[in-house]
Amino acid sequence: MARVLLVDDSPTQASEARFLLEDAGFDVDVAGDGLEALESLGRCPPDVIVTDLMMPRMDGLALVEAVRRDHPTVPVVLVTAHGSEDIAAKALVAGAASYVPKRNLAQDLARVLRPIIAMAAPDPDQVRVLGSLEEIRLRYCLDNDDSLVAPLIRRLEGLVLEMGVCERPDLVRLGVALQEAVVNAIDHGNLELDSELRQDDERVYHELGERRKSQPPYRDRRVRLDAGITRDEASFTVRDEGPGFDPSKLPDPTDPANLFRIGGRGLLLIRTLMDEVRFNATGNEIVLIKRRGRPASTGA
């Protein structure tokens, strides 16, 4: 059973989040602030940390920085609320793996944690460095099937790790960005699902997606992913066959207010967690680049 360290100075909010996590099958420990969390980490590192941002003594940003420095294999997921946008944006740059808006905990928290835990778990077979390998080129053609995304990302992560582009803490962040890019290509590209549908009822969004998977023209569209991995960088190109969009109208990824845009989460994470991000003119192709030994930036 995966173990979560939940960090929140509000007993009421911590109790609510703990119930959600335990109901989803996680083992949960609770700390009242960042200092208590670090003490718990020293005794028994969890599989993932879920932390509030605004706390006494040590806030979420300081906790992310300390975990990144002293426990780099433990991913941190932020719980964000209105008023915490600036600190959340800084924490993502500092090393947090992802975030969940507080208002969406019930529907999103467990869904966000599971792939992050899976990506962070060490796998001896994937960490062998193949010293004679200089370059990897791969091309995938995917159906509109979300269940294919996690095994695809694990495979790509293993190759990036073997080539030495990323160490494991950054590998989790790369995996999160890739997952968002592929899921966006399926949902918003090929299936043409509007994120606004999720605002009132998440079920409407997913039910429409399931119907479109068997309807023309959506069912015949595919997502193609090209990967090029060398010792110096990993480059991924994700293309969908949908109508595209105008990339110039994308929200500013450096504006913390965009943490709470409906549907803006995926693109914000992609731009924050990768070193360089580019769209083609029609918006149905995105290039994500991670360079060896460089911190992520909010490249255009």
Residue 234 has pLDDT above 90, yes or no: yes
Q: 223-230 and 276-279 as β-strands: parallel, antiparallel, unpaired?
A: unpaired
Residues 148 and 274 in one domain: yes
Domain holding 104, by residue range, is 3-120
Instruction: Give me 244's structure tokens.
Output: 């595209």
pTM above 0.75, yes or no: no
In tens, the pLDDT along 193-231 reads 988 888 777 889 999 999 999 999 999 999 999 999 999
Give a yes or no: residue 116 inside a domain. yes
Q: What is the CATH number of the domain that holds 227?
A: 3.30.565.10
- Distance, in Å, from the CA atom of 227 to the CA atom of 152, rounded to the nearest integer, reads 11
Whether residues 179 and 110 fall in one domain:
no
What average pLDDT does the segment 148-171 reach? 90
Residue 127 has pLDDT above 50, yes or no: no
Q: Given 71, 86, 120, which residue is the final one in a domain?
A: 120
Query: Are 137 and 268 in a shared domain?
Result: yes
pLDDT at 253 over 70: no
Give yes or no: residues 169 and 229 share one domain.
yes
- Compute the distance between CA of residue 262 and CA of residue 118 in angstroms, rounded to an integer: 26
Q: Is the pLDDT of residue 290 over 90?
A: yes
Same domain, 8 and 76: yes
Q: Single out the residue in 96, 120, 144 at which a domain terminates.
A: 120
Q: What is the mean pLDDT of the chain?
A: 89
What pLDDT score does 155 carry?
A: 93
Kindly state whether residue 299 falls inside one of the protein's structural domains: no
Count of domains for the chain: 2
Is 163 among the domain residues?
A: yes
Q: The domain that contains 72 carries what CATH number?
A: 3.40.50.2300
Please classify residue 96 by burial: count the beta carbons closer than 10 Å to its beta carbon, then call 0-12 exposed, 13-18 middle and 19+ buried: buried
Give percent above pLDDT 90 in the chain: 70
135 shares its domain with 190: yes
Q: Given strand 3-7, what is the order of strands in its sheet?
A: 27-31, 3-7, 48-52, 76-80, 98-101
